[in-house]
Amino acid sequence: MEFCPLSVYSLTAGSSGSPTFLTTNFSRYIMDKLIIEGGRPLSGVIDVNGSKNAALPILLSSILLEGPQDFFNVPNLRDIRTTLKLLGLLGCDCVQEGKRVHMEPGTLTPEAPYDLVRTMRASVLCLGPLIARLGRATVALPGGCAIGARPVDQHLKGLEKMGAVFTLEGGNIIGRCEHLRGAQITFDMPTVGGTENLIMAAVLADGTTQLNNAAREPEITDLANFLNSCGARIRGQGTSTIEIEGVTSLRGSTYSIMPDRIEAGTFLACVGMTGGRIVLTHCPVEALESVISVLESMGMRFEHCEQGFAASMSGPLKATEIRTQPYPGFPTDMQAQVMALMCLAQGVSIVDERIFENRFMHALELVRMGADIQINGHTALVRGVDHLTGAPVMASDLRASASLVLAGLAARGETQIRRIYHLDRGYERIEDKLSAVGARIRREHEDD
Ligand code: EPZ
């Protein structure tokens, strides 16, 4: 297998792409950057936020409810604010106060505003609930993103099996169906969004739907548990066969979003980079088994303690191998963070990225900091180096940004990370949480 060595010379400035959707506020926001002075061990307690990837589908499933709803432990992130704005425009008025969101159902409209939907892929998750409630939906076809094409063919195929008909007009998916009917649906591959969209479509369908080869992620279980609290009849969530018995209507309830396993895993990896000991409160340990197992293989130690879940690291990191897989395998959303750890591990590590076709953008930036990484297709070879050196780097996608924060925490000298609007999509004020446990990290606005 021929690996192509990444060197600074193979980099092209701004290779991480740039957003095309700018407004005055956004262009101001886009200039934020993080400044990190590396080399300080972490020590202290971090509270884990509510899960972004559970909150997005759960909030959008509000479209299905005929009564008011209260959500708790909702993270305050850019994508969440976008989702609440979208819900308001669709007819579900939402108010977020801290971690609480109150939703009042109003008169629904089937048209999701194109420009808003284009800014957030997860908006496609309103397709199933809108067709289920209104018999039609107009939603922008999600584009690809930095990590891959990310098609939605599985979503559409499944909905067609339930009786929906789709046309593509002016970049919008237009779906119609008088009343969805239960069906037997087998996904070509486990898809998180596809499973979520079809669950939300099936809860109000005529008859029973069975999803085969369904994704098993904990966020899907959280969505199903939420819908069951509103009167849905879903069984098998967390397994690859999910059965949904359609009901005539769903009431509102009160529900607390599960903790964010990827935010938690990211903080566990931070202490692997810097050494020291941190305790996570509200850590979804059972949803992190594959991640904890890899971090243990690299020399980290974990224990339950009175305050929560403790992670510690002393001594050298050890090389390891990971292959990203659907849950309960190793999550692709932790691949970039573990690659940062591999850069400082003794020996040669291997990353096999099996979920997305272009999820090594962080490697280019880690090389700027002195990492030794060779890429060949979906495989990366990482030779551990003695140290990383701080440098100006560019975030390209959410988890790539996190890996640059990890690298900056361990690097000698100062690291500047630009375009951190990517990071803010999934981490709420990460600089505050890390500063509180000893990191020297701050956010700066760059004047236009
Ligand atoms: C969800 O994305 C997550 N996003 C992603 O997290 C996560 O990386 C991904 O699942 C995999 O775990 C949210 O939950 C909001 P998929 P999703 O459908 O649903 C292919 C983050 O960093 N596929 O499970 O879009 C697809 O191309 C984000 O928080 C099709 O081919 O992922 C990919 O190769 C990034 N056709 C694979 O399946 C389809 O119709 C898995 O995608 C759907 C998917």
Active site residue 177: no
Q: Is 189 in the pocket of ligand 1 (CB under 6 A)?
A: yes
Conformational region of residue 146, where left means phi above 0, alpha means psi within -120 to 50, and beta covers everything else: alpha
Residue 156 CA: nearest ligand 1 atom is 40
What's the CATH number of domain 4-42+317-447, 3.90.1150.10, 3.65.10.10, 3.40.630.30, 1.10.760.10? 3.65.10.10
| DSSP assignments along 277-343, one per residue | EEEEES--GGGGHHHHHHHHHTT-EEEE-SSSEEEEE-S--B--EEEB-STTSB-GGGHHHHHHHHT
Q: Is 154 in the pocket of ligand 1 (CB under 6 A)?
A: yes
pLDDT of residue 117: 86
The residue whose CA has the least distance to atom 1 of ligand 1 is 192
pLDDT of residue 2: 65
pLDDT in tens, the chain (448 residues): 567 667 544 433 333 344 333 344 445 456 799 999 999 999 999 999 999 999 999 999 999 999 999 999 999 999 999 999 999 999 999 999 999 999 999 999 999 998 888 888 899 999 999 999 999 999 998 877 778 878 899 999 999 999 999 999 988 999 999 999 999 999 999 999 999 999 999 999 999 999 999 999 999 999 999 999 999 999 999 999 999 999 999 999 999 999 999 999 999 999 999 999 999 999 999 999 999 999 999 999 999 999 999 999 999 999 999 999 999 999 999 999 999 999 999 999 999 999 999 899 999 999 999 999 999 999 999 999 999 999 999 999 999 999 999 999 999 999 999 999 999 999 999 999 999 999 999 999 876 4
Report residue 430 as tokens.
């990460």
pLDDT of residue 145: 77
C-alpha of residue 76 to centroid of ligand 1, in Å:
22
The residue whose CA has the least distance to atom 22 of ligand 1 is 333
**Spatial strand order in the sheet of 184-186:** 184-186, 208-212, 241-245, 233-235
- Whether residue 347 contacts residue 297, with contact meaning beta carbons closer than 8 Å, is answered with no
**Catalytic, out of 4, 126, 145, 270:** 145
Q: Which of 139, 335, 355, 378 is the pocket-test mutation for ligand 1 (most atoms within 8 Å of CB)?
A: 355
Burial label for 373, CB within 10 Å (0-12, 13-18, 19+), is buried
Q: Where are the domains of the chain?
A: 4-42+317-447, 52-256
Q: Is 151 in the pocket of ligand 1 (CB under 6 A)?
A: yes
Residue 149 CA: nearest ligand 1 atom is 27
- Whether residue 75 contacts residue 103, with contact meaning beta carbons closer than 8 Å, is answered with no
The residue whose CA has the least distance to atom 32 of ligand 1 is 192
Question: E strands along 149-300, which residues?
Answer: 165-169, 172-176, 184-186, 208-212, 233-235, 241-245, 254-256, 276-281
The residue whose CA has the least distance to atom 8 of ligand 1 is 333
pLDDT of residue 4: 66
In tens, the pLDDT along 93-146 reads 999 999 999 999 999 999 999 888 888 889 999 999 999 999 999 999 887 777
Give yes or no for a cis peptide into 326 (omega within 30° of 0). no
The residue whose CA has the least distance to atom 4 of ligand 1 is 53
Grouping H, G, I as helix, E, B as strand and the rest as coil, residue 201 is helix
Burial label for 131, CB within 10 Å (0-12, 13-18, 19+), is buried
The residue whose CA has the least distance to atom 17 of ligand 1 is 193
pLDDT of residue 5: 64
Residue 145 CA: nearest ligand 1 atom is 35
What is the CATH class of 52-256? alpha beta
C-alpha of residue 385 to centroid of ligand 1, in Å:
32
C-alpha of residue 149 to centroid of ligand 1, in Å:
10
pLDDT of residue 150: 80
Domains 4-42+317-447 and 52-256 share a fold: yes
Residue 262 CA: nearest ligand 1 atom is 29
Residue 398 CA: nearest ligand 1 atom is 22
